[in-house]
Chain A
Amino acid sequence: MTPTPNLLQISNLHKSYQAPNQPRPWWPSLSNTASASQIKAINGLNLSIAKGETLCVVGESGCGKSTLARLVMGLEQPDQGHISYQGNNISSLKHKQRQDYRQRMQMVFQDPYTALNPRLTVLHALVEPLLYHQPQLKRQNAIDQAMAQLLAVGIDPALAQRFPHQLSGGQRQRINIARALMVQPEFIVADEPLSALDVSIQAQILNLLAQLQQRQQLTFLIFSHNLAAVEHMADRVAVMYEGQICEIASREKIFNHPQHPYTKALLAASPQIYQAPNTHHKLVGDVPNRIPTQQGCSLQDRCPKAFETCRHQTPKSIEMTTGHWVACHLVADPTNTDPIPDTQVELEKGNHHDPSH
Chain B
Amino acid sequence: MTSPLLQVTDLHVNFISRWPNEPNIDVLRGVCFELYRGERVALVGESGAGKSLLATSIIQLFDSSARIRQGQVTFEGKQLTQLKPKQLRQIRGRRIGMVFQDPMTNLNPSLTLEQQLLECILSHRSISRAEARLVALHKLRQVHIPAPEARLQQYPHQLSAGQRQRATIAMALALEPTLIIADEPTSALDVTMQAEVMSLLTHLCHNNGVALLLITHDLSLVAHASDRCLIMYAGKIVEQGPTSVLINDAQHPYTQGLIKALPQMSSPGQPLFQIPGQMPVAQELGNHCAFATRCEFAHDKCWQQTPTMPTGNGHRASCHLLTAAPARAER
Contacts and interface: CB of A to CB of B under 8 A. Distances in A.
B257 interface: yes
Contact of A251 (B220, B268, B274): B268
B190 A274 contact: no
B278 A170 contact: yes
A266 B192 contact: yes
Interface stretch (A129-137, A201-209, A322-330): A201-209
Contacts of A206: 263, 272
Interface string B207-218: 000000000011
B274 A225 contact: no
B66 interface: no
Given A206-B272, A271-B223, A273-B219, A200 B261 contact: yes
Contact of B160 (A62, A168, A226, A272): A62
B223 A225 contact: no
A228 B47 contact: no
Contacts of B34: none
Contacts of B162: 286
A168 B278 contact: yes
Contacts of A225: 190-191
B218 A200 contact: no
A198 B184 CA distance: 12
Contacts of B273: 203
Interface in B263-298: 263-266, 268-269, 271-275, 278
Interface residues of A, number: 45
B271 A199 contact: no
A232 interface: yes
A169 B46 CA distance: 11
Contacts of B161: 61
Nearest to A63: B190
A60 B223 CA distance: 23
A324 B46 CA distance: 38
Interface string A202-243: 111011001100000000000001111101111000000000
A61 B160 CA distance: 10
A199 B268 contact: no
B146 interface: yes
B263 A203 contact: yes
A225 B46 CA distance: 20
B190 A229 contact: no
B263 A207 contact: no
30 contacts: A60-B192, A60-B193, A61-B190, A62-B160, A199-B46, A200-B257, A200-B261, A201-B46, A203-B273, A203-B274, A210-B269, A210-B271, A225-B191, A228-B262, A232-B263, A232-B272, A251-B268, A268-B195, A269-B194, A271-B218, A272-B223, A272-B264, A273-B219, A273-B220, A273-B247, A274-B248, A277-B224, A283-B192, A285-B146, A286-B162
Given A198-B217, A232-B269, A272-B223, 14 more contacts: A21-B158, A199-B219, A200-B275, A207-B271, A211-B271, A225-B191, A232-B263, A232-B268, A232-B272, A265-B192, A271-B224, A272-B264, A282-B195, A286-B160
Interface of B: 46-47, 146, 158, 160-163, 190-195, 198-199, 217-221, 223-225, 247-248, 257-259, 261-266, 268-269, 271-275, 278
